[in-house]
Amino acid sequence: MQDQSPAQPRTSRRRLAVGAIVTCAGLCIAAGLLLGAGRGQPAQPAQSGSGGTAGKDGAAKDASSQTPPTADQGKPLSPEEIDLAVVKVTSFDVTTSATGELEARKQIDIRNQLEQPTTIVEIIKEGVQVKAGEVLVRLNSDNIQTQVDEDSLRVESARAEVVVAENNYSIQVNQNASDNRKAALEVEIAELDLRKWQEGEVTSKRQTLQLALEKATRELERLKEKYDRSVELEKRGFLARDELKRDEVAYLEAEAALRTARLNITVYDNFEYVKDEKVKKSAVDQARAELSKVAQKADSELAKADADRKNKREQLRLREQKLDKLKEQLELSTLRAPSDGLVVYATSVNRDRWGNNSEGSLDVGRQVTRNQQLIILPDTTEMVASVRVHESMTGRMKPGQPATIKVDALGGRSIPGAVESIGVIAESGGWRDPNLREYTVKVRLETSAAEVQLKPSMRAEAQILLDKVERALTVPIQAVFSEGLVRYVLVPDKNNRFRRVPVRVGRRSDRFAEVTIGVSQGDRVLIREPAAGEVIEQPWEKAELAAVGLVLLPDGRVMPAGGPPGSGGRPGGGGGRPAGAAPVGMPPSGSGGPTTAAPAPSGTPAAAPGAGRPTAAAPAPGAAPAIPAIPAAPAGPPAGGPAAAVPADRTQPSPGK
């Protein structure tokens, strides 16, 4: 141990020397970086972080990247110059950020179409790529197969019954035709018999009766003449008395025969003719009635046969329809992929906000019901990012706006895209923030998902380009401070103190703000919060306020030119809190939207990062009423108008966080 003691001081000196060398090297590297920044190297965009501090640091780096003027570019910058930025003419993009997840632009839902509950007997593995026609799920179809077999027999029986009914109908048609012909023949016979009686028998009968009448009349005339001669001869004695009596009897008989002949004609005309006419006509009427009866009966029997035939046909149709439906159900028990896609179980998608699924996993043996969603087939060749954007920003969006999407699974790789659609109805923030209103915006990815292996539900962050400011006078966003209605910057003097200069702020992004009035190109402005005593305490200059469209009242209040007297801000004081890095109208992280807060007193620092959603607070004594944030800054505010309000929390993250 004593031999090694002289080496201990040498070792300590070596360590001190190495430490000094490392320290010098670090200082040289830092000086070189600062010198490169002073020579106007382009500022790198700040990385989006989850908290307000990251946004603050990124914005500070962007501001420090602007060239702070020095007397000698080869000399290192002083600490005061590091906190300054140069007002210069540049171009920048106005963007908003929104987070969400990837979705397939087109996807197909595979559902259970079986009417009765069943169980899964086979299912494809989740996460595999399938081609059109591949089997995804097989469901238990034993009961359906049994019903198909039974109904097939019933269909065959129904077809046989239809054949019998068709034959019965044909037989009935023929029988009806035969009965109708027979009844029509009876009618013709009765009509012919009537005509025969009218045109033949009646004439013949009347001729016979008329002939008998004429014969009786002539016989009476002959016998009368004979009787008269017999009476004359009997008087003369030439004829016996008995002979006379016989002639008299013959005469009397002839008279009786004449009366009988006349009576026969009367009886025939008044009774026999009428009776025979009614009998003959009645026979015709009965034959015609029988014909109508036969026709009606034939129609009834035919309708009955036709109804039976239609009934059998309908029964067959219903049985065939039921059989076809059962066969369709049997086919639906095997679910196939209608197109190419990625297999995703529905139980993996239908989860609550905490990632739980009360339905359990989708596996063999699980019972499923009608129309239950089983599998989702997203077409991963075309993907969109579904992000939620605050309602204050959707008015500035339209389909076709360019965007950049960063996917966490790809290590932050940026993918170009464009806004495809904007939701119609705003969605609430739920019980966590019921006042929050956001719209779902679909951003189409212009890169094929197959090239970068994208999948649904991957977390994504979209940067949507809202506007582009070209060749405008620009300062870092954290260089803009506010006091009431006045927006101002802090310009250094020769004594390293800062003077408040009112400015009119135009369009802005989360990093830069356009200044239209108040400063000139090459001016230097402070990009941090001023320390105590650094700001020169002096009232506002009326000319400077008038240049930005404000008026200083006699009581020290500031109001817009031509505005109501009660709208002025509080009197002047020390440096106000710096403007935030978020664009106009953009809510801070975790907030439900733009809120109104009272202006802070002079020198009051900004709210700490992560303080939660800001709320409206009562103004301090003597303070002016709070001014709400303007949803969107115009491209160029009119001369004499009020300055655009800038959010007052410099630690806010990028829009849409």
Residue 533 is predicted with a pLDDT of 87
Single out the residue of 651, 649, 647, 653 nearest to residue 589, CA to CA.
Answer: 653
pLDDT confidence of residue 457: 82
Contact (Cβ atoms closer than 8 angstroms) between residue 594 and residue 636: no
In the predicted model, what is the mean pLDDT of residues 154-163?
Answer: 94
pTM of this structure: 0.49
Q: Tell me how far apart the alpha carbons of residues 92 and 114 are, in angstroms, rounded to a whole number.
A: 59
Please name every residue paired with 451 in a beta bridge, in sequence order, or none if there are none.
none
Is residue 467 within 8 Å of 562, Cβ to Cβ?
A: no
Flag the least confident range among 9-13, 90-94, 226-230, 559-563: 9-13
pLDDT of residue 185: 92
Which residues, in sequence order, are bridge partners of residue 108? Answer: 377
3-class SS of residue 560: strand
Tell me how far apart the alpha carbons of residues 334 and 112 are, in angstroms, rounded to a whole number.
10
DSSP 444-500: EESS-HHHHT--TT-EEEEEEEEEEEEEEEEEEGGG-EEETTEEEEEEE-TTS-EEE
438 DSSP 8-state letter? E
Q: In sequence order, which residues have a C-beta less than 8 Å from that of residue 492 and are 6 or more positions away? A: 80, 84, 498, 499, 524, 526
- Element of type H or E holding 266: helix 241-267
Summarize the confidence of residues 56-69 as an average pLDDT.
41
| Fold topology of 376-464 | Elongation Factor Tu (Ef-tu); domain 3 (2.40.30)
Burial label, 619 (beta-carbon count in 10 A; 0-12, 13-18, 19+): middle
Q: Which CATH number fits domain 143-326: 1.10.10, 1.10.287, 2.40.30, 3.30.70?
A: 1.10.287
Question: What does the alpha-carbon distance between residue 470 and residue 488 come to, in Å, rounded to a whole number?
Answer: 22
Q: Please tell me the predicted confidence (pLDDT) of residue 638.
A: 36
Q: What mean pLDDT do residues 640-652 have?
A: 36
Strand, helix or coil for residue 533: coil
**Helix, strand or coil for residue 55?**
helix
Q: How far apart are CA 440 and CA 467, in angstroms?
A: 20
Q: How confident is the model at residue 72 (pLDDT cuts 50, 70, 90)?
A: very low
User: 3-state SS of the chain: helix, strand, coil percent to 5?
Assistant: 40, 20, 40
CB 41 within 8 A of CB 65: yes
Angle between helices 142-196 and 273-332 (to 10 degrees): 170
DSSP string, 402-422: EEEEEEGGGTSEEEEEEEEEE
Residue with tokens 């996917």: 407
pLDDT per position as a tens digit, 322-333: 999 999 999 999
pLDDT grade for 44, boundaries at 50, 70 and 90: very low
Q: Give the residue with greater pLDDT, 153 vs 362.
A: 153
Domain-wise residue ranges, the chain? 115-140+336-375, 143-326, 376-464
Band of pLDDT at residue 631, cut at 50, 70 and 90: very low
Tell me how far CA of residue 524 lies from CA of 83, 85, 443, 498, 520, in angstroms: 10, 5, 40, 10, 9
- pLDDT one-digit tens code per residue, 333-370: 999 999 888 888 888 876 555 455 556 678 888 899 99
| Nearest-angstrom CA–CA distance, 645 and 656 | 19
Q: Which two tokens stand for residue 307?
A: 């109804």
Mean pLDDT to the nearest integer, 550-576: 66
Please give the pLDDT value at position 97: 87
pLDDT at 21: 60
Task: Give me the percent of the chain exceeding a pLDDT of 90.
Answer: 31
Q: In the structure encoding, which two tokens stand for residue 478, read together? A: 């954290």
Range 75-86 average pLDDT:
66
Mean pLDDT for all residues in the chain: 75
Q: Classify burial at 321, counting beta carbons within 10 Å of its beta carbon; exposed 0-12, middle 13-18, buried 19 or more.
A: exposed
pLDDT at 33: 44
State whether residue 615 is helix, strand or coil: coil
The sign of the CA dihedral 167, 169, 174, 178 is: positive
3 state DSSP class of 430: coil
Tokens of 574: 């020390």
Which tokens in the block code for residue 146?
A: 């049994």
Residues 6+ away with beta carbon under 8 Å from 618: 598
Q: How far is CA 62 from CA 98, 108, 339, 520, in A?
A: 21, 46, 49, 20
Section 308-315 average pLDDT: 93
- In DSSP notation, 287-352 reads HHHHHHHHHHHHHHHHHHHHHHHHHHHHHHHHHHHHHHHHHHHHHHTEEE-SS-EE-EEHHHHS--
Q: Taking 80 as the threshold, does the pLDDT of residue 571 lie above it?
A: no
Summarised one tens digit per residue, pLDDT across range 493-543 is 888 889 999 999 998 887 899 999 989 999 999 999 998 888 998 888 888
Which three-class secondary structure state does DSSP give residue 572? coil
Give 115-140+336-375's CATH code, choosing from 1.10.720, 2.40.10, 2.40.50, 2.40.128: 2.40.50
DSSP-derived secondary structure for 203-249: HHHHHHHHHHHHHHHHHHHHHHHHHHHHHHHHHHTSS-HHHHHHHHH
pLDDT of residue 126: 87
pLDDT of residue 352: 52
CA distance 166 to 159: 11
Please give the helix or strand (H or E) that residue 172 lies within, else none.
helix 142-196
d(C-alpha 638, C-alpha 548), whole Å: 10
Q: Which residue has the tokens 């719209």?
A: 439
| Cβ proximity of 319 and 155 under 8 Å | yes
Q: Give SS3 for 75.
A: coil
Residue located via tokens 């990062």: 609
Sheet strand arrangement including 107-111: 107-111, 373-378, 344-345
417-434 pLDDT tens trace: 999 999 888 888 777 788
